[in-house]
């Protein structure tokens, strides 16, 4: 699974916010260093930056110590057969869908029933 973090306000690095252990997604070892470890990086991020990382990366948030507020948008992407929660938690919304596109967007995770979304044609 992939995460894209769009930074809305700058993070100066060293003042908190997003932290990670670069390369940890390839380590094949379950290891969580102390937040103060030299392995943990708190990158400088400017407003408008997009940080893309895998959920296999060791990452987290350090306590925010800047005078500015911390604001970012996080979008998580997963393959069609995966989900963060059971489909049962949103299944009732399918009954409310009134178009084929809405029903397609709300379909459960699957591998075999791969069909395109029925986007309307341009007028």
State how many domains the chain has: 2
Q: Are residues 69 and 95 in the same domain?
A: no
Whole-prediction pTM: 0.67
List per-residue pLDDT tens for the chain, 123 residues long: 899 999 999 888 788 889 999 988 888 777 778 888 888 999 999 999 999 999 888 888 888 888 888 899 999 888 777 777 777 887 788 889 998 888 888 887 777 666 666 677 776
Q: Are residues 71 and 91 in the same domain?
A: no
Number of H helices, E strands in the chain: 2, 5
Beta bridge partners of 52: 4
Q: Are residues 68 and 105 in the same domain?
A: no
Q: Are 101 and 93 in contact (CB under 8 A)?
A: no
φ/ψ region of 106 (left if φ > 0, alpha if ψ in -120 to 50, else beta) reads alpha
Q: Are residues 40 and 60 in the same domain?
A: yes
Q: Are residues 73 and 92 in the same domain?
A: no
Give the range of the structural domain holding residue 71, as residue numbers without chain letter.
2-77
Q: Is residue 123 part of a domain?
A: no
């Amino acid at each position: 699974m992939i995460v894209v973090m769009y930074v809305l306000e700058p993070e100066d690095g060293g003042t908190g916010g997003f932290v990670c252990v670069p390369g940890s997604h390839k380590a094949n070892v379950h290891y969580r260093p102390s937040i103060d470890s030299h392995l943990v990086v708190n990158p400088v991020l400017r407003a408008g930056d997009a940080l893309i990382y895998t959920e296999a990366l060791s990452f987290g948030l350090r306590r925010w110590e800047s005078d500015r507020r911390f604001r970012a948008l996080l979008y998580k992407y997963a393959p069609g057969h995966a989900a963060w929660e059971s489909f049962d938690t949103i299944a009732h919304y399918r009954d409310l869908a009134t178009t084929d596109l809405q029903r397609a967007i709300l379909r459960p995770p699957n591998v075999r029933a791969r069909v395109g979304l029925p986007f309307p044609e341009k007028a």
